[in-house]
Structures are given as structure tokens and as C-alpha cells.
Amino acid sequence: MSHETQRLCAALFAGNLHSQFQVLTAADEAFFIELTEITEPTNNPMWESFSLLFVGPQDRVLPQQTWKLEHHKLGEMELFLTAVGKNSEGFLLYEAVFNLPRK
């Protein structure tokens, strides 16, 4: 199921916490990041705001940009990822932030 058939929302990602997303690079390298945290969406009746935190390898830094990701359940999607630091083990952390109008 791709994001084109199902709207991106916090609940969609919550069902896939701690799963792997493949980053599709121009060089067709196999590169994976893991979804490790989802912030709770806001209670704003007009907007759903939440963020996703991913952990990536220590030896590969993704520049801040929109990346095409593929997930075994969710299919392909494009997310704007920003490197936000490292965890206690030295693995790189990436964040995707969402502010989506509610229907």
C-alpha cells in the first residue's frame, strides 16, 4: 500500500514503528534507516502535526533533502529528512516533520 492510496498520518507510521525503510539513492545502494520514534499528533482541529525519528548507520550521512523511501508494507514515499544528531551509540538520527491539514 503506497502513500498515494493511504493518507500519511501518525497512526499509519505508528503501526510500523521499529521497522526498516530503504533509502533509494541515485546509485541504487542498499541503505536502510529504522523508524524509532513518533511524536504524538497535536490536538489542533485544523492540523495534524507530528514528527518521525529514524536511526541510520554511523558511516553514511544523508544530506538534508527529500528522499525516496521504500517500506515493505507502506510502499514508496518521499520524505524530507534532516540529520538531527547522533544517539548514545553514535548512530545518526534523522527527523521528518509533518504539518498536515485534517480532513
Query: Is residue 5, in this structure, part of any structural domain at all?
Result: no
Q: pTM of this prediction?
A: 0.88
Domains in the chain, number:
1
Query: Is residue 1, in this structure, part of any structural domain at all?
Result: no
- Domain carrying residue 74: 10-101
Query: Is residue 81, in this structure, part of any structural domain at all?
Result: yes
Query: Is residue 2, in this structure, part of any structural domain at all?
Result: no
H/E element, 14: helix 10-14
Burial class (CB in 10 A: 0-12, 13-18, 19+), 36: middle
Query: Residue 14: what pLDDT?
Result: 92
Joined grid coordinates for residue 101: 491539514
H/E element, 65: strand 65-71
Domain of 58, CATH number, reads 2.40.30
Query: Is residue 73, in this structure, part of any structural domain at all?
Result: yes
Q: Is the pLDDT of residue 4 over 80?
A: no
pLDDT in tens, 40-95: 878 888 999 999 999 999 988 899 999 999 999 999 999 999 999 999 999 999 99
β partners of residue 66? 80
What band does 103 get if pLDDT is binned at 50, 70 and 90? confident
